[in-house]
C-alpha cells in the first residue's frame, strides 16, 4: 500500500506502481532504522532504475503519517497499516506491483518465557496468513 495525502493525484487515481515513487519523496527513515528493513519497505530505485527521492525525515510511524497527511511525501506501508489505521487526510492506495511483505515473530532471547513460546506455537500452528 502507498500512503498519500487525500488531495494527492494518486488518491484520486486509486492505484499506484513502484515507478510512481520516483515522482515524489518518501520518508527518510534515518540511520537508526535497520538497512535490511528499509530496503524491503522503501526501494532506493524503481524497477526501471529511477531514483526514489528521500526526505523529509521521520523516526516513528505516527511521524510518517503526519508528513503524509501534510502532503510532504508519500510512503509505502504494509496492508496491515491501512487496515488498522484510518487517519484523517490520508488515503491508502494499492501498489499493484509491490512484492508481498513477509513478517515473522521475533523476540530477545533474554525475554524468553513460556507465554512467548505458547504464542510462537500458536502462530506456527496457524501457518502463513494474509493480514
Tens-place pLDDT, residues 67-81: 999 999 999 998 888
Q: Is the pLDDT of residue 98 over 80?
A: yes
Give the chain's domains with CATH numbers.
2-93 (3.40.190.10)
- Alpha-carbon distance of 40 to 102, in angstroms, equals 9
Q: Is the pLDDT of residue 130 over 70?
A: no
CB 4 within 8 A of CB 93: yes
pLDDT of residue 109: 85
Closest CA to 82 of 99, 70, 95: 95
Tens-place pLDDT, residues 30-63: 998 888 888 888 899 999 999 999 999 999 999 9
- Alpha-carbon distance of 5 to 60, in angstroms, equals 18
Amino acid at each position: 500500500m502507498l500512503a498519500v495525502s487525500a488531495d494527492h493525484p494518486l488518491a484520486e487515481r486509486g492505484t499506484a506502481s513502484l515507478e510512481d515513487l520516483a515522482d515524489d519523496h518518501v520518508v527518510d527513515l534515518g540511520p537508526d532504522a535497520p538497512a535490511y528493513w528499509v530496503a524491503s519497505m522503501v526501494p532506493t530505485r524503481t524497477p526501471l532504475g529511477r531514483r526514489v527521492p528521500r526526505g523529509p525525515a521521520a523516526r516513528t510511524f505516527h511521524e510518517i503519517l503526519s508528513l503524509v497527511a501534510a502532503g510532504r511525501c508519500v510512503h509505502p506501508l504494509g496492508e496491515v497499516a491501512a487496515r488498522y489505521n484510518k487517519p484523517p487526510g490520508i488515503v491508502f492506495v494499492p501498489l499493484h506491483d509491490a512484492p508481498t511483505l513477509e513478517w515473522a515473530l521475533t523476540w530477545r532471547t533474554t525475554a524468553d518465557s513460556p507465554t512467548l513460546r505458547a504464542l510462537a506455537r500458536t502462530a506456527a500452528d496457524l501457518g502463513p496468513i494474509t493480514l
